[in-house]
Amino acid sequence: MTGGEGGRRLVHETWGDHAALLARSDQGRDGSVGLVESHVIDVATPNDPLHLEAGGVLRHVAVAYETYGEIDAAGRNAVLVCHALTGSAHAAGRHRREDVPGWWDPLIGPAKAIDTQGHFVVCANVLGGCYGTTGPTSLDPSTGHPYGPDFPRFGIRDVVEVQRRLVRALGIRSLKAVIGGSMGGMQALEWVVRHPELVRSVVAIAVGARHSAWAIGLNEVARRAIMADPRWAGGRYAATEQPETGLGLARAIAMLSYRSFDSLEARFGRERRASDDASLASSFEIASYLEYHGVKLVRRFDANTYIALTRAMDDFDVAEGRGRLDEVLAGVRQRALVMGIPSDVLYPETEQRRLVESLSNARYVRLSSPHGHDGFLIEFVQLAAHLRRFLGEVDA
């Protein structure tokens, strides 16, 4: 889908654009889940608070989620799809009055790889997110103001605990699969290690068992970019006065790590902007591409949330407090599918190989892509083939 004549142009586009194109091209062959809505459910209350791993307590946690397909009588046909850093619960279909489909729409729907005719697909915005689940932009009930930088520290384990409560509330007794890429892959790994009795298989894409120094370093400079913005104000900015410059720069830094030398060279090379203001800005197309993606993120995301979620990623170590990494992974008996991308500089293939070598029952699949880490949001044909096959094998 990204090859052929359209390939070169597509590199410039975001996963949203891709998904839109692909969803349209899929019409007639596969179905769409159609119009969907996000729902919200409370999974923590003053009587049943959420005790966070780092020691904090949340007395109210709302979760925004979407479901596609129907749950079966046994509550065993559910597939949990976990989103990455800036994603949301909107994984498939369309919202009313919005043209952009969900972030994995080409993979989820009737007759698609994650087939909603047989599966009950669930996707929830993560704890600490800014798309409807309780997080830094939510009102702190004890003050009546948004938590902002005072939102208590949380990690991937807390994210999964919130999902576990949601899953239980939906009547799910066993998850056929937990699937995710990047930060979503961290959740998938945490799920199968923490709740093996609830999970029958796991798919982890473009991720490792714990965050590397390299990935932590990249998140660190992104956070510093946000905090260096005077409008950051220690995180106590008004909702309408985000540290836009800092958050945009953080995104630009991250975008470089999501792509690859070859994909940026093929798309931009040394092309210069048509109208070149030689005064300050660099005149190269790659600069305007990075700026564009920064502006786009600033419009849809929150700086405190960005900081909190990147910290949760940096703290991720599926073995921490559980023993040696190899042994913790060897204890996972579930069928596992691990996918890596050779051009991914952020989570290089060595990390996925380590997962496959240590997990008891894992298969490795290489996604052929020049696009780097973002390949897991681009290479839908390959993803579809491997996911379809894997889901067919889970209960075989």
Using only C-alpha atoms, the chain has a radius of gyration, in whole angstroms, of 20
Q: Which residues are 344's β-sheet partners?
A: none
Is residue 395 among the annotated active site residues?
no
189 binds its own copies (CB under 8 A): no
Is residue 344 among the annotated active site residues?
yes
183 binds its own copies (CB under 8 A): no
286 binds its own copies (CB under 8 A): yes
Chain-centroid distance, C-alpha 390: 20
81 binds its own copies (CB under 8 A): no
140 binds its own copies (CB under 8 A): no
Residues numbered 305 to 334 that lie near its own copies (CB under 8 A) are 311, 314, 317
Q: Which class for 191: exposed (0-12), middle (13-18), buried (19 or more C-beta within 10 A)? A: buried
Q: Which of 18, 211, 373, 386 is labelled catalytic?
A: 373
Is residue 60 among the annotated active site residues?
no
Residues listed for the chain:
396
274 binds its own copies (CB under 8 A): no
268 binds its own copies (CB under 8 A): yes
Specify the residue, 11 or 178, whose C-beta has the smaller distance to its own copies: 11
Q: Which of 314, 344, 371, 374 is labelled catalytic?
A: 344
Rounded distance, CA 33 to CA 105, Å? 9
Q: At what angle are helices 285-300 and 244-258 packed, to 10 degrees?
A: 120
371 binds its own copies (CB under 8 A): no
211 binds its own copies (CB under 8 A): yes
Q: Which class for 28: exposed (0-12), middle (13-18), buried (19 or more C-beta within 10 A)? A: exposed
Structure tokens at 160: 């999964």
249 binds its own copies (CB under 8 A): yes
Which of 9, 12, 145, 224 touches its own copies by CB under 8 A?
Answer: 224
The DSSP symbol for 35 reads B
The DSSP symbol for 379 reads -
Specify the residue, 102 or 246, whose C-beta has the smaller distance to its own copies: 246
| Alpha carbon separation from 177 to 42, 71, 160, 235, 308 (Å, rounded) | 24, 14, 14, 37, 27
164 binds its own copies (CB under 8 A): no
What residue ranges bind its own copies (CB under 8 A)?
Answer: 153, 210-214, 216-221, 223-225, 227-230, 245-246, 249, 252-253, 256, 260-262, 264-265, 267-270, 278, 280, 282, 284-287, 290, 311, 314, 317, 345, 348, 350
Residues with catalytic roles? 182, 344, 373
